[in-house]
Amino acid sequence: FFSITVKMSLQWQVMFYVLVFEAALVLILAVPLPGFIERVFKENLIRVLKYIGNTHAFKILYWVFFVMVGFMIWSSVQGMEKFRLLKDGAKEKGADPTGTLRLVNSQQMFYHQRNLYISAFVMLLMIVILGYIRFLRKIHDLAHQLKERKSE
């Protein structure tokens, strides 16, 4: 599972692990858990996420990370465009007798496509997690208000 990250640079390994963490967080938040575990685990998780999400530092870090991921997407698209242009130029010049240039270009194109998918999914999951936390926070607040009204 983790051996696929061997050829990645450090920044892309970090992005991959952020992607795995975000996917696990979405899974934990979205999948219904048994009653006791949900009361103990999910309530505390929502409380912690609610506290962290309301801090000013989190909002700043969220947008800084969002912009960084945007730059990484842009970098991947630029790399894909560069190797697409190299491929088009190689077709015009004639065939590579050994096929080495074509193989290297295909490999680099694959790396840039992989990086694009990783960074795009990280950005997508950032948006999904933020929206889902807001949704859960609103449901949690409404449930708390309902308990207060019932106790009155």
Query: Tell me: the pLDDT tens digits for 88-137?
Result: 666 666 656 566 667 777 778 888 899 999 999 999 999 998 888 888 78
pLDDT of 22 > 90? The answer is: yes
Question: Other CB atoms closer than 10 Å to residue 96's CB: what's the count?
Answer: 13
Q: Is the pLDDT of residue 24 over 80?
A: yes
Q: What's the pTM value of the predicted model, to 2 decimals?
A: 0.74
Spatial separation of the C-alpha atoms in residues 36 and 42, rounded to whole Å: 10
| CA–CA gap between residue 141 and residue 109 (Å, rounded) | 48
User: Where residue 78 falls among pLDDT bands split at 50, 70, 90?
Assistant: very high
1 pLDDT exceeds 50? no
The token pair at 44 is 């505390």
The torsion angle over the Cα atoms of residues 59, 62, 63 and 64, rounded to 10 degrees, is: 120
- Summarize the confidence of residues 13-31 as an average pLDDT: 89
CB–CB of 12/118 below 8 Å?
Answer: yes
